[in-house]
Amino acid sequence: MKPVSDLGGNIISVLHQRDRKTASGRVPVQLVFEMEERRLDRLVEKLKAEGMHVVSIGKERLKDSMVVILIGHIVHSDIRDTIEKIDSTGFAEVVGLSLSMPGVDKKSSAALVLSAIGKKELKEALRILEATASKKGIMVISPI
């Protein structure tokens, strides 16, 4: 854990199973942490220098998120099309949707979670959502 700390990382969780050892008798450890991506190579070097084997490193691609509220005839105006416009950007995705439909002829409301690779891209995804929703007569309430 010290190498992560030394390089400015924040440890989120540590998971190990003492009763499940590798063929070489080592205890596998899963370490979840946040760190600037440019420091990962140095971290791997430090861990290997201390005799640890790094099996894999997973990177979270979508780092910034926001929740927006949609109000209107969401399902009837093809929510799938709205989601695809954001997902197809390559830099943002709709990662969550919670929908409330009070009746067939009544307006629905939805909480939509947008995630993107950065703050600038998240703003662009929101702009795409607002433009698409406006054409469909759906109101978007976004964070300040």
Instruction: Give pLDDT tens digits along the chain (144 positions).
Output: 788 889 998 887 777 777 777 777 788 777 777 788 888 889 889 988 988 877 777 766 678 899 999 999 999 999 999 999 999 988 899 999 999 998 888 999 999 999 998 899 999 999 999 999 999 999 999 998
Burial group, residue 47, by CB count within 10 angstroms (0-12, 13-18, 19+): middle
Burial group, residue 82, by CB count within 10 angstroms (0-12, 13-18, 19+): buried
> What one-character DSSP code corresponds to residue 133?
H
pTM check: above 0.85: no
Question: 70: which strand partners?
Answer: 110, 140
Taken in order of first residue, the domains within the chain and their CATH numbers are: 2-49 (no CATH), 64-141 (3.30.70.260)
